[in-house]
Structure 1
């Protein structure tokens, strides 16, 4: 295009930036930015918004802020992209400041539904679930900003992550009262929220009412059954999924294996693990971790150990942790020490290893070893993990 003597316009610059943006394209983004400056296009809101997205993809905070300052007339899109950039990069306070500075009423840049949704979703990504729900409440009280499907989906994620069943029910009621049609994404968010908040019956009700489903919705339902220890129901749902012509993915089998582990269905779990290849799915560490948990919980510790030794990759913290927890449950000291050493190699002085070994030694009456482990904990400043629970 340039060789033909034609100069790119705003649309061209924006399209090129969106096409090349990514962690490994820093030089390209900088070159395009330089070209935009030479052509006098960098000061427009349209080109500026594209450059903001580009610098966000590079995780370049200084570049992001510099481009925003250069934009002469900032519209609602440029403000929203700036806020989204801050939240994606983890600069929550800067995102809050930009949101507060964004004009409430202005022809060019007044806050809109997307602005609120970006902030709410940003808080969810940063695991500030309570703040996300408080901001949603503030949004609802503002009559000029009615939540969209994307807003509700982000809020339901916050409810699910914080087990806020009451708030989740209120959001579901709000969706129904507004006559908003629940698409696959929103319905799946509702299933996930109800399942993670303890109401598996409501989750099942939403799932059954869906006229159209996808793999993600099936996964949410199977995962919900797994979380509630309903292994048989999870397996039955999987059978229906396959019969309806939906192809399972890696997440499907993680949920299935987890369901078998929580329900003690060893034979079924082994069957599903072997079935993965039939669907063209290669077992990853998460699947092996579920299998180790399944076998170890059932007391088949030797079989779990053989599985770990036969894995095509090194075991991670989750796999060793599953074995260690089962060793504590079945008072297997020898294998527990192997698992504890595996954890220590990955996360030095992790308190879980000391805790389980102390318990196993104590059950065997070896108080000398218990005292030695306690001494090591004090020396390395490894603190016992506190238990916690959530009550809404």
Structure 2
């Protein structure tokens, strides 16, 4: 076989390799294990993995080394799932596994993203006694680091007695890649103190850590280490230093290093263009690209990816298309593996979603990033069903979504309340052992939006290291699902434990106080918001306005509203609603007019609030006027607007007018609108109208027990007990949602429901209620029994 090794090295094309293969077959040397193993490897290097697998499968009894070479070939070609399948097949055939195979199979586990299989391989390594092999241990360290298990990576590192520069570089890289830049720099300091000499690979990770921290002083110290130790980089380290200085806000130093590079390769130009992009200097990025063209340096696919991103940020669709054509003409990225995601982002920016789908069709199954990006873009633009369709297509093609794609899909599930698909994605996350915080936060959010906040809380409790985003997700989940007391309890827990809070935290807990009517707690939160030194935030101020208004302190609501310098339509709407709640219809109308005069266009919510204010204030003519003026602002009335107008007219006794409004509705009339009319009929004793619309009431189908209760009571009061019985029979199987009220006494909120006996002073409360009519008459109040 030694005689034929130079011939293998001389095979520069698939054709010459095939000729050599035929010669080996004729001479019978294809049965020689080294020759067949070399054929397996050579075909793989030529890109013909299918023939490589065929050579392997036609060999009578492949040894451990040949299995290892085939697995390595699959890993090189990024067929990680197939590599793992081969490993399992090898174990099934009871082929002895040698240490040469484990580094490749560990790489396959991290590439496939399956921590569960990785843990099993680790266990087998220990069982077979390869856990003391330095190369295998380094591979284990890298696998855990790439999969975000920094604790396991550190445990392996700390247990190794001899640590060379490769091992130090690996653990530093693991820390930096997992967002622990400070820990990476601490390890670098330990490395220097223990006398290990860093190389360019080490300094690449150290420079990245400095950039992540954004501390310019540290960046200059690292640059000084590179210079004093005369570490040669061959361009890659210079590029990392350029990026490092850019992240630290010293673009001048980055430009200086770039200009001092004597021979600028593609990577140097690409690094500088990327840095301009990252600092928002998109035009400068385009200018450097044009300068690169003038220098006759041919760009690569990565360069073009960055330039396409610049075009997207500058809104240059035509130029972006030109770059796309340039890529095709120069055959820089025929399969769009690199520029595909950037092109999808470019075309999505201009709403060209059909172009996005065409790019994805060209990419096919090779680039998971593009699939993830399209899912995310669909979700961001509100095309949630389309996002989930792409996710399902991805699964049917056997693609494994990463944490980014999973989080985007979970977000879409929550927004459309697709709990069944959410369950399936959660099962997929558990099966693959994904412990990514990004995914876990998305799971909490998804369950909360689907109304299963307790499921979200179970996930929350399992997370050991909770970030402020995790806490916010749970507080917001409780608040949005009406579990306001739990939201406030979590906020108090954050405060007591000194956990960092941001604007989102305060926004959620203020909304919880608003739902409970907990004024004193709301004031306390407002105080902590001010003393915490958080900058003014429009969303928080608007939420405070709403909270004070709903909790009865209209003066405080006005104070917060007046302090908002740049008011949004949401801020104006919140204050209009506040005036409406307090019955100050004139103030609400005045503020609405002031809003329009200031150039702010009212939206659907604004009109809903002003119509509600008119309804509660009995301002019929004003309500009609605002309802008719909606179309002047380009707003189409929805069901809630119609229900509010019907309620307004019904309360005022204009039942015929309310009925005409219902008849004019361009869409299906639901139970809420009929309830508004029925309530007016009941108040004004218009049984004749109920009889005339009886046929329309029969067709109503709803789960709202309030509608059926109201209708049956009307029939009962009119003495029509047959109809009363029919309506009551419709309520069978429906559960009435219990009503409840809250009252705040001595900075504490008490909650009461019908028939509630949980309060310590229940007997005294019911005694007062029993005597209430007598007490009211003694005070000169009119008491009406219904």
Indicate the TM-score class for this superposition, using the shorter chain for normalisation: 0.7 to 0.9
CA offsets, 1:14-37, max 9 Å, x none? Answer: 423312453234452244457785
Alignment of 1:355 onto 2:686? no
Indicate if the aligned counterparts of 1:225 and 1:234 stay in contact, CA closer than 8 A. yes
Matched residue, 2:374: 16
| 8 A Cα contact 1:250 1:281, kept in partner | yes
Q: How does 1:177-326 map to 2 (within 5 A)?
A: 177-326=531-680
- Change in 2 beyond 3 A, CA 1:261/1:83: closer
Q: In structure 2, do the counterparts of structure 1 residues 71 and 14 end up closer, same or farther at CA, with 3 Å as the change threshold? A: farther
3-state SS in 1 of match to 2:599: coil
What is aligned with 1:112?
Answer: 467
Report the Cα distance in structure 2 between the residues aligned to 1:180 and 1:141, rounded to whole angstroms.
Answer: 18
Q: Which runs of 5+ in 2 are unaligned?
A: 1-300, 302-332, 339-365, 744-748, 750-786
Are 2:449 and 1:97 aligned? no
Aligned pair 1:63/2:409, yes or no?
no
**Counterpart position of 2:448:** 87
Task: State the alpha-carbon separation in 2 of the partners of residues 23 and 304 from structure 1.
Answer: 37
Greater shift in the superposed pair: 247-256 or 2-11: 2-11
Give yes or no for the alignment of 1:133 onto 2:488. Answer: yes
Kept after mapping to 2: 8 A contact 1:124/1:132 = yes
Larger radius of gyration: 2
- 2:387–2:412 contact (8 Å) kept in structure 1: no
Query: Is residue 324–residue 339 contact of structure 1 (8 Å, CA) maintained in 2?
Result: no
Q: 1:284 Cα shift?
A: 2.1
Aligned-pair distance for 1:380?
Answer: 5.2
Instruction: Describe the superposition over 1:53-94 as per-residue Cα deviations: whole angstroms up to 9, x where unpaired.
Output: 32452442122331354256x343333233323333333333
Query: Shift in Å at residue 389 of structure 1?
Result: 2.7
SS in 2 for 1:62: helix
Structure 1 counterpart of 2:682, from 328, 336, 343: 328
1:4 to 323, 335, 352: 335
Per-residue CA deviation, residues 85-110 of structure 1 (Å, 9 max, x unaligned), is 3333333333222211111xxxxxx2
Structure 1 runs not aligned, ≥5 long: 104-109, 362-367
Aligned-pair distance for 1:163?
Answer: 1.7
Q: Helix, strand or coil for the counterpart of 1:23?
A: helix
Per-residue CA distance 1:336-388 (angstroms, 9 max, x = gap): 445676455324671111123434x2xxxxxx43x545555665566999764
Identify which range, 161-170 or 250-259, moves more after superposition. 161-170
Alignment partner, residue 390 of structure 1: 742
Alpha-carbon deviation of 1:233?
0.8
In structure 2, distance between residues paired with 1:223 and 1:209 = 18
Q: So what's the TM-score if we normalise by structure 1?
A: 0.84
Residue by residue over 1:130-158, the C-alpha shift from the partner in whole angstroms, topping out at 9 and shown as x without a partner, is 21111111121111x12210111111111
Cα pair 1:226 1:258 within 8 Å, conserved = yes
| Superposed displacement of residue 322, structure 1 | 0.9
Q: Secondary structure at the match of 1:139?
A: helix
Change over 3 Å in CA distance of 1:386–1:91 after alignment to 2: closer
Structure 2 contact 371–390 (Cα < 8 Å) conserved: no
- Provide Cα deviations, 1:311-335, integer angstroms capped at 9, x if missing partner: 2233221211111111111121112
Q: Which residue of 1 aligns with 2:72?
A: none
2:612 alignment partner, SS class: helix
Distance 1:82 1:378 in 2: 41
How far did 1:208 drift? 1.0
Summarize the Cα distance change of 1:184–1:300 in structure 2 as closer, same or farther, 3 Å threshold. Answer: same
Which residue of the partner structure matches residue 121 of structure 2? none
Q: Give the TM-score taking structure 2 as reference length.
A: 0.44
Q: Which of 1 and 2 has higher RCO (CA within 8 Å, sep 6+)?
A: 1
Question: CA–CA distance in 1 between the matches of 2:630 and 2:385?
Answer: 33
Contact 1:222 1:255 in 2 (8 A): yes
> Aligned in 2, Cα 1:4/1:225: closer, same or farther, shift over 3 Å?
same
| 8 Å CA contact 1:120, 1:135 repeated in 2 | yes
Quote how far apart the aligned CAs of 1:6 are.
3.5
Q: Distance in 2 between matches of 1:295 and 1:111?
A: 52
2:385 is paired with a residue of what secondary structure? coil
- Write the distance in 2 (CA, Å) between the matches of 1:378 and 1:83: 40
User: What is the rounded CA distance, in whole Å, between the counterparts of 1:385 and 1:326 in structure 2?
Assistant: 23
After superposition, where does 1:36-75 map in structure 2 within 5 Å? 47-58=402-413, 59=418, 60=421, 61-71=423-433, 74-75=435-436
Contact 2:612–2:644 (8 Å) recurs in 1: yes
Name the SS of the counterpart of 1:389 in structure 2. Answer: strand
Offset at residue 9 of structure 1 (A): 6.7
Seen in structure 2, the aligned counterparts of structure 1 residues 137 and 240 have a Cα distance that, compared at 3 Å, is same
